[in-house]
């Protein structure tokens, strides 16, 4: 069988390479030894069957007899083959098991051999040790026997010696105490007296001990007096002071009185620190005015490089009201001084006080007095009173920090202030000081938001002042078409005009850059390295209501509100607001509505991780407000420009004698001025707004005046007026014509395009012309002059409006109203009108 196994071994895989076979072998071993998977013995009922080949009671003869009786020859041969295979398999498994554990067997053999040698050596050492112990026991027994008679005497003498040493200590105690008093070794004196106090008290009825006790009391009274004097002087350090208090407590001084004295002494030191801080808050003496500069002055904001001509002060003279004198110590140094002096001293006082009065082990009578509770109450009142004064000084200094140029100093100072107060929270749990400090930081952040909002508002108003100066500059040196302006000085032929788009772009970019700069400064409050940034306020309310609502949203509302205020100016000419500024602001508000507001709020939400847990202003509401402001500004611009042209037309009608005027030979100059101004407005509006939609123009739009004024319709309309007997018919025809004419809304809201704006201005101008005509009486040549003027206007104004029929209708009304108020209505020939207008 071994030969078969060896013959098959070369053709088989190594035992370690067949995990399944290895597990099977281990399983068989566990089964043989009666172990489960965890290696524990399994209690199984033993099989009593002699035919169970795996049972302990197996009988081969019985098993073979059973097989011969029950199985046929073929079954016996099969059974033999199966058993041979099992035998070979078991032999192979056993051989594999031997191979796998060969090294372990060798190691076990070596270990057993080594243990035999070691145990032999150990037996020799144990025999030697046993002999030595027997010798020691014998020697000890002989010593005990020798000294047994003198043991009691030695014990008695030892006790007497100890007693004599104690008595010697007691008799030498007064001298020892005096020596310690001279050397100022107060702690050693108190310790020595405490050791002997109980014995002296116990034997005070004996005269000798009574004298020692009286001497010691006198010396300790003197020592206590010196400690009290040292405590009251206050010139000692905190360590010496703590030692004084501790010694006085050991001398049974009243704890409440010591607490008051300790806190009183500490208060004098802390008040000196507070007085030093208060001295820094007093304004320094100055021999002259303090120069104040604008933190926002720079290329990002300036729209004018130099002061405009004729202006007493240029843009660079603008002052920021939020800056403080630079001669004073900055807030970071102030907070550092307060933390390093006052807060540090306060923490030292708290720690020393607690160690002396609160955390001190209470034994005997001291435990019944409940000193820690009394002491902690006094400490809380003491800390709260001084912290209130310190916080008032800090808030005063924070309120003086109104310069918004650099926010990092304030944030670092607040962070240091908040960080140092956490030490008080650890030393004195339950104190209101840390929460009060956090409230100061929160109020400072809110105040900073207000300051930045005021700075942004001031910046915006100053920027508008620069825009107005830039718009007014060309008028000082000459006129400029299209509302252009020269930046920074009088207009000259060599200066390049700054157009409205450039001013708008510069204004919008400077405002947006300033908002980004402010957001970056405010974002320092929420930086990760700032200790108070993890407070609930700075994670929620500060971001949503502080930055988003109180700063960004309020500034956007301020821009819209301040822009709408330009529409409330009184006067026919719209007050002192330049029309170009109204147009520019309307475009600015429209740009805010379309993109800028959404961009700013999205930037704010992303930068500050704003979570809208509470209601906030919706973007759509702000956009609606901006669009409303843009609409009102554009409507007001149309009204102002319309009133300017209307004023010229009104004066030209009111100052002329239309009854006795001469026969017209030219177009009046005011009509040419109207066309010129309308063209200038068209160019100006076109710089900021798109063209808009027009209705299709007819091919003879410039000649429609002739067809309107001289056609059969016109003759039918005016012919009855030539006949004195038919005035009622003329009025009747005119009224019937108005009934079927489309009603013209003069002051209707305009759309955000050039055509709608020009249409509104022309409607206001022509309506004013019509109303002025209705108040006058005309002669023949007066009517003809109106015909010439209206034909001239028709030649040019139809190009600017969305529907040329509107101009035709209004001009037709003007001529018709003039004809009704003419004493001798004789219209001029259309060919003559055209010649005059072309020549003009």
Supply the DSSP string of 208-230, one letter for each residue.
HHHHHHHHHHHHHHHHHHHHHHH
Give the 3-state secondary structure percentages of the chain, helix then strand then coil, rounded to 5. 70, 0, 25
**Cα 469 to Cα 463: distance, rounded to the nearest angstrom:** 10
Handedness of CA 91, 95, 100, 106 (dihedral sign): positive
In which residue are the tokens 């009391």 written?
217
* Separation in Å, CA 334 to CA 328, 340, 581: 10, 10, 46
Rounded to the nearest angstrom, the gap between the alpha carbon of residue 275 and the centroid of all alpha carbons in its chain is 35
Helix (H, G, I), strand (E, B) or coil at 67: helix
**Cα 515 to Cα 559: distance, rounded to the nearest angstrom:** 13
Secondary structure letter of residue 544 according to DSSP? I
pLDDT for the residue 236: 61
Q: Which of 666, 719, 716 is nearest to 840 (CA)?
A: 666
| 3-state SS, one letter per residue, for 727-748 | HHHHHHHHHHHHHCCCCCCCCC
Q: What is the dihedral of CA 321, 322, 328, 331, to 10 degrees?
A: 180
pLDDT along the chain (840 residues), means of 10: 40 49 60 57 64 82 86 88 90 84 84 82 86 90 77 78 76 78 78 75 76 79 78 65 74 78 84 88 52 39 36 36 50 90 89 79 56 85 92 90 82 90 88 90 91 93 90 56 38 52 92 93 88 82 86 93 80 66 92 92 86 79 92 91 90 89 88 90 90 65 42 35 37 50 66 88 89 90 89 86 83 89 87 82
pLDDT for the residue 133: 92
**Cα 335 to Cα 109: distance, rounded to the nearest angstrom:** 80
**Cα 476 to Cα 464: distance, rounded to the nearest angstrom:** 19
Helix (H, G, I), strand (E, B) or coil at 180: helix
Q: What is the DSSP string of 362-378?
A: P-THHHHTTHHHHHHHH
Residue 827 near residue 819, CB atoms below 8 Å: yes
* Separation in Å, CA 603 to CA 207, 251, 366, 375, 515: 93, 69, 65, 54, 10
pLDDT for the residue 206: 80
pLDDT for the residue 634: 92
Locate 14 and state its tokens.
Answer: 């190594």
Q: Which of 481, 349, 335, 451 is nearest to 395 (CA)?
A: 335
pLDDT for the residue 507: 93
Locate 693 and state its tokens.
Answer: 């939609």
**Cα 99 to Cα 92: distance, rounded to the nearest angstrom:** 11
Locate 244 and state its tokens.
Answer: 């004084």
pLDDT for the residue 369: 59
Residue 648 near residue 770, CB atoms below 8 Å: no
* Separation in Å, CA 105 to CA 97, 99, 721: 11, 10, 145
Q: What is the DSSP string of 315-351?
A: GGG---TT---TTSPPHHHHHHHIIIIIIHHHHHHHH
φ/ψ (deg, to 5) at 650: -65, -45
Q: Which residues pair with 485 in a beta bridge?
A: 498
Residue 426 near residue 348, CB atoms below 8 Å: no
Q: Which of 368, 220, 431, 250 is nearest to 258 (CA)?
A: 250
Structure pTM?
0.64
φ/ψ (deg, to 5) at 234: 75, 5
Secondary structure letter of residue 823 according to DSSP? S
**Cα 764 to Cα 636: distance, rounded to the nearest angstrom:** 12
**Cα 297 to Cα 827: distance, rounded to the nearest angstrom:** 65
CA 771-775-781 angle, to 5 degrees, is: 100
Residue 334 near residue 277, CB atoms below 8 Å: yes
**Cα 405 to Cα 693: distance, rounded to the nearest angstrom:** 48
pLDDT for the residue 254: 78
- Other CB atoms within 10 A of residue 513 CB: 14
Angle between helices 186-202 and 207-233 (to 10 degrees): 150
Q: Which of 465, 473, 480, 549 is nearest to 510 (CA)?
A: 465
Q: Which of 516, 335, 353 is nearest to 437 (CA)?
A: 335
pLDDT for the residue 460: 94
Q: Would you say how long the chain is, in residues? A: 840
| Burial environment of residue 358 by CB neighbours within 10 A (0 to 12, 13 to 18, 19 or more) | middle
**Cα 276 to Cα 237: distance, rounded to the nearest angstrom:** 20
Residue 448 near residue 398, CB atoms below 8 Å: no
**Cα 254 to Cα 752: distance, rounded to the nearest angstrom:** 87
Helix (H, G, I), strand (E, B) or coil at 498: strand
**Cα 156 to Cα 150: distance, rounded to the nearest angstrom:** 10
**Cα 494 to Cα 422: distance, rounded to the nearest angstrom:** 66
Largest CA distance in the chain: 177
Residues 6+ apart with CB under 8 A from 47: 54, 55, 56, 57
**Cα 555 to Cα 626: distance, rounded to the nearest angstrom:** 12
pLDDT for the residue 290: 39
**Cα 773 to Cα 767: distance, rounded to the nearest angstrom:** 10
């Amino acid at each position: 069988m071994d030969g078969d196994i060896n013959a098959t071994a070369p053709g088989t895989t190594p035992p370690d390479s067949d995990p399944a076979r290895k597990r099977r072998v281990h399983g068989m071993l566990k089964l043989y030894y009666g172990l489960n998977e965890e290696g524990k013995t399994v209690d199984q009922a033993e099989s009593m069957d002699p035919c169970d080949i795996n049972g302990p009671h197996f009988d081969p003869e019985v098993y073979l007899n059973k097989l011969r009786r029950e199985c046929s020859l073929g079954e016996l041969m099969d059974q033999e083959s199966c058993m041979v295979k099992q035998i070979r398999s078991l032999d192979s498994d056993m051989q594999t098991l031997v191979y796998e554990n060969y090294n372990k067997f060798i190691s076990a053999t070596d270990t057993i051999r080594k243990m035999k040698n070691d145990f032999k050596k150990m037996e020799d050492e144990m025999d030697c040790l046993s002999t030595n112990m027997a010798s020691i026991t014998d020697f000890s027994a002989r010593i005990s026997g020798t000294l047994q008679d003198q043991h009691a005497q030695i014990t008695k003498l030892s006790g007497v010696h100890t007693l004599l040493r104690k008595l010697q200590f007691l008799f030498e105690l007064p001298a020892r105490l005096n020596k310690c008093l001279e050397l100022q070794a107060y702690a050693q004196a108190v310790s020595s007296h405490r050791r002997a106090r109980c014995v002296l008290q116990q034997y005070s009825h004996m005269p000798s001990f009574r004298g020692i006790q009286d001497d010691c009391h006198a010396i300790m009274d003197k020592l206590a007096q010196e400690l009290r004097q040292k405590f009251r002087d206050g010139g000692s350090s905190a360590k010496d002071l703590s030692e004084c208090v501790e010694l006085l407590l050991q001398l049974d001084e009243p704890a409440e009185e010591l607490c008051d004295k300790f806190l009183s002494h500490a208060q004098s030191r802390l008040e000196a620190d507070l007085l030093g801080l208060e001295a820094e808050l007093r304004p320094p003496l100055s021999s002259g005015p303090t120069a104040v500069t604008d933190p926002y002055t720079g290329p990002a904001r300036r729209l004018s490089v130099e002061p405009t001509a004729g202006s007493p002060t240029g843009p660079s003279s603008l002052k920021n009201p939020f800056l403080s004198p630079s001669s004073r110590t900055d807030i970071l140094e102030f907070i550092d001084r307060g933390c390093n002096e006052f807060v540090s001293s306060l923490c030292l006082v708290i720690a020393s006080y607690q160690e002396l009065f609160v955390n001190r082990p209470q034994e005997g009578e001291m435990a019944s007095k409940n000193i820690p509770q009394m002491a902690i109450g006094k400490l809380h009142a003491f800390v709260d009173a001084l912290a209130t004064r310190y916080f008032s000084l800090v808030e005063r200094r924070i309120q003086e920090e109104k310069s918004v140029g650099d926010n990092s100093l304030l944030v670092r100072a607040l962070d240091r202030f908040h960080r140092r107060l956490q030490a008080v929270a650890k030393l004195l749990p339950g104190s209101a000081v840390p929460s009060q400090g956090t409230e100061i930081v929160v109020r400072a952040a809110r105040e900073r938001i207000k300051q930045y909002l005021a700075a942004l508002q001031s910046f915006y108003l100053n920027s508008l002042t620069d825009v107005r100066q830039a718009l007014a500059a060309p008028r000082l040196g000459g006129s400029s078409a299209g509302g252009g302006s020269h930046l920074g000085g009088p207009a000259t032929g060599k200066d390049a005009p700054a157009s409205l788009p450039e001013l708008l772009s510069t204004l919008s970019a400077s405002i947006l850059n300033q908002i980004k700069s402010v957001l970056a400064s405010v974002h320092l409050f929420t930086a990760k390295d700032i200790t108070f940034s993890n407070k609930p306020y700075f994670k929620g309310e500060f971001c949503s209501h502080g930055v988003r609502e109180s700063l960004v949203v309020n500034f956007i509302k301020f821009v819209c509100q301040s822009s709408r205020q330009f529409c409330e100016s009184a006067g026919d000419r719209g007050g002192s607001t330049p029309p170009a500024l109204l147009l520019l602001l309307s475009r600015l508000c429209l740009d805010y509505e379309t993109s800028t507001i959404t961009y700013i709020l999205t930037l704010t939400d992303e930068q500050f991780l704003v979570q809208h847990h509470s209601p906030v202003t919706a973007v759509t509401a702000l956009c609606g407000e901006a669009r409303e402001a843009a609409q009102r500004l554009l409507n007001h611009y149309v009204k102002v420009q319309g009133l300017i042209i209307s004023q010229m037309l009104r004066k030209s009608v009111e100052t002329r004698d239309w009854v006795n005027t001469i026969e017209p030979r030219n177009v009046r100059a005011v009509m040419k001025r109207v066309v010129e101004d309308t063209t200038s407005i068209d160019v100006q509006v076109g710089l900021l707004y798109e063209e808009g939609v027009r209705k299709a123009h007819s091919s003879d739009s410039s000649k429609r005046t002739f067809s309107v004024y001289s056609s059969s319709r016109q003759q039918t309309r005016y012919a009855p007026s030539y006949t004195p007997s038919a005035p009622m018919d003329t009025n009747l025809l005119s009224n019937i014509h108005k009934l079927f004419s489309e009603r013209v809304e003069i002051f209707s809201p305009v759309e955000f395009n050039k055509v709608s704006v020009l249409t509104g201005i022309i409607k206001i101008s022509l309506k004013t012309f019509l109303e002025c005509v209705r108040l006058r009486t005309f002669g023949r040549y007066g009517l003809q002059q109106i015909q010439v003027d209206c034909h001239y206007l028709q030649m040019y104004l139809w190009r600017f409006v969305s529907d040329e029929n509107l101009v035709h209708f209004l001009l037709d009304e003007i001529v018709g109203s003039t004809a009704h108020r003419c004493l001798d209505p004789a219209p001029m020939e259309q060919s003559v009108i055209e010649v005059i207008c072309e020549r003009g």
